[in-house]
Amino acid sequence: MAKRSRFLSGARILPPPVGRRAAASDLVERTFLAYNAGRLREGARLLAERMLRPGVTVGLSLTGALTPAGLGVSCLVPLLKAGFVDWVVSTGANLYHDAHFGLGLPMHAGSPFLDDRVLREEGVVRIYDVLFAYDVLLDTDAFFRRVLDLPEFQAEMGTAEFHYRLGRYMAEREKALGSGEVSVLAAAWRYGVPVYTSSPGDSSIGMNVAAMRLGGRGVRFDVSLDVNETAAIVYDAKRRGGKSGVWIAGGGSPKNFILQTEPQIQEVLGLDEKGHDYFLQITDARPDTGGLSGATPSEAVSWGKVDPDRLPDTVVCYLDSTVALPLLCAYVFDRVGKRPRKRLYDRRGEMLASMTRAYRRAVGAGKVTQKRKVSR
């Protein structure tokens, strides 16, 4: 009898029949065996068995209109509450639409096959098949303008502090409305999770900030502080003997911002590091078009974003985030439960000071100049 090939060592594909009352986590584990279902199961296992260990610092990036579709309420808030996500990089749009829920402004399920000229005439806004009244935008804008006019916002700050301060007011609205925990910003404030926006001017929040600045009022963003704070989060995790994991929903600017922390540490600051330890991405973008949303973890290795020794601990699932996120959440809540919250927001100053000291030592030792010459 011929020797059995090592390539046939995987589990036999012979799943049980899908029956009634099957738990979502069991469905993923038992029947998601091949193609992108198989990658989703690999991603779920990566999350549950490695990324969500207490010693791993997990960053989550959010791209695409996830909060208008209810993913903030159903997935993101529970993830923050359970301590499964330690820091976040999001588009400003996701945080703006998150505010609708915190303010009690309704979003409605609809159809993508409507006449948008009629919707415009009737004061209805469409995000694919999510529909809401135009007044929702006006009421949300009015809320942000009132808050931005308060004394505490007449200062320069990074987006983590800005969102933390906004989150407190959102939590107050939740309490007044009796809505429960429905806002990501409120949850981030409540559980000490820093939330960054890589492009703070690129959203309706940024538009309202810009309008306030025309009158000499409102916040001024320090984007360099964001770059350094996020790098300090990753640097702190590694210096303490832990690991860094990135969970990427979509791609775009938030993906780059969460990954560029490692090149910032290594290439720019001249500090010894090897890259993120765990990488899980959900995307529908192709790698061959050259866009970052489709860039693979192996490509990220060439930039120093992912540790080359940890490349087996990376998973890319080519799937819509609105499908994958609820399934991944169901899996990890069933398999992990919860873990201690790190409350990284409260440690921002301490982490940044530690990285700053290390950078100054590197400059004094001539390591920064040397590394920059090598990179050229």
- Residue-wise pLDDT tens digits, 141-182: 999 999 999 999 999 999 999 999 999 999 999 999 999 999
Average pLDDT, the chain: 93
- Position 370 scores a pLDDT of 52
Rounded Cα distance, 181 and 83, in Å: 15
Instruction: Give the residue among 104, 106, 103, 96 at the shortest CA–CA distance from 133.
Output: 106
Active site residue 367: no
H or E element in which residue 36 lies:
helix 35-46
Q: Are 195 and 94 spatial neighbours (Cβ–Cβ below 8 Å)?
A: no
* DSSP H or E segment with residue 225: helix 223-239
Residue partners of 87: CB distance under 8 A and separation at least 6: 57, 58, 59, 60, 193, 194, 195, 196, 230, 233, 344
CA distances in angstroms from 339 to 98, 164, 184, 305, 329, listed in the order given: 25, 22, 19, 26, 14
Q: pLDDT tens for residues 265-319?
A: 999 999 999 999 999 999 988 887 877 787 888 888 888 888 888 888 899 999 9
Q: Are 103 and 141 in contact (CB under 8 A)?
A: no
pLDDT at 288: 79
pLDDT at residue 375 tops 50: no
* DSSP bridge partners of 54: none
Contact yes or no for 291/4 (Cβ under 8 A): no
Catalytic annotation, pick one of 238, 243, 255, 305: 305
Q: Per-residue confidence at 100, pLDDT binned at 50, 70, 90?
A: very high
Span 79-85, average pLDDT: 98
Q: What's residue 369's pLDDT?
A: 59
pLDDT of res. 373: 44
Q: Convert the pLDDT of each residue in 191-241 to its tens digit.
A: 999 999 999 999 999 999 999 999 999 999 999 999 999 999 999 999 999
Residue 68 has pLDDT above 70, yes or no: yes
Tell which residue, 177, 104, 108, 163, has the closest CA to residue 139. 104
Structure confidence at residue 1 (pLDDT) = 56
What does the alpha-carbon distance between residue 241 and residue 108 come to, in Å, rounded to a whole number?
46
Can you list the domains of the chain with their CATH numbers? 23-375 (3.40.910.10)
pLDDT range class, residue 260, cuts 50, 70, 90: very high
